[in-house]
Amino acid sequence: MIKIGVVDTTFSRVDMAKYAIEVIEENLPEAEIIRYTVPGIKDIPVAARKLLIDEGCNAVLTLGWVGPGQVDKYSYLAMSVGLIMLQIMTGKHVIDVTVHEDEASDPDELYNIAVDRARKHALNLVMLVKYGREALTQYAGKGLRQGRPDAGPIKE
């Protein structure tokens, strides 16, 4: 049985997990999805750890929202380091999906960034779990973006 963990926060202004779970269900229907919602980004690493170790998830998708202030940026950095350490310690993928509130001033644009990023990274996670380490190799160097239009390669 494949188990996928999805961690999100109440701080987020978009329910990104809803869109990520739709993608996972569509592309990996045999997977059991375990959702874990926490208050904010600094709570994400322990939730991801519990899903990987206590629940036996094969991989975890984390969905965080970073406020516009400097303190928010520091909180994101601390969370990111925690997730990197968790990946090293468990040998399992933790795909971090983060939206920074200052990426866009228009709420509709911010919403679109969040939904697109959640969906695309959910698909990345599915591919890694389903097909392994070479699943994304065909896309290497293509300038793919999540939440924004693809940049494309510099040279073919």
Please say whether the structural domain 3-139 has been given the CATH code 3.40.50.960: yes
For 4-34, the pLDDT digits (tens) are: 999 999 999 999 999 999 999 999 999 999 9
**What does the alpha-carbon distance between residue 101 and residue 105 come to, in Å, rounded to a whole number?**
8
Q: How much is the pLDDT for 69?
A: 95
For 102-143, the pLDDT digits (tens) are: 999 999 999 999 999 999 999 999 999 999 999 999 999 999
Q: How much is the pLDDT for 112?
A: 97
Residues shown for the chain: 156
The pTM score is 0.96
What's at 124, amino acid-wise?
N
Comparing CA positions, the residue from 43, 85, 78 lying closest to residue 62 is 43
SS (H, E, C) 15-53: CHHHHHHHHHHHHCCCCEEEEEEECCHHHHHHHHHHHHH
The residues pairing with 66 across neighbouring beta strands, listed in sequence order, are: 100
What's the start-to-end Cα distance of the chain, in Å?
A: 40
**What does the alpha-carbon distance between residue 146 and residue 20 come to, in Å, rounded to a whole number?**
13
For 92-111, the pLDDT digits (tens) are: 999 999 999 999 999 999 99
What is the distance of C-alpha 51 from the center of its chain? 14
pLDDT at 156 over 90: no
Residue range 43-64: mean pLDDT, rounded: 98
| Residue at token pair 């036996």 | 56
Query: What does the domain layout of the chain look like in residue ranges?
Result: 3-139
What is the distance of C-alpha 126 from the center of its chain? 11
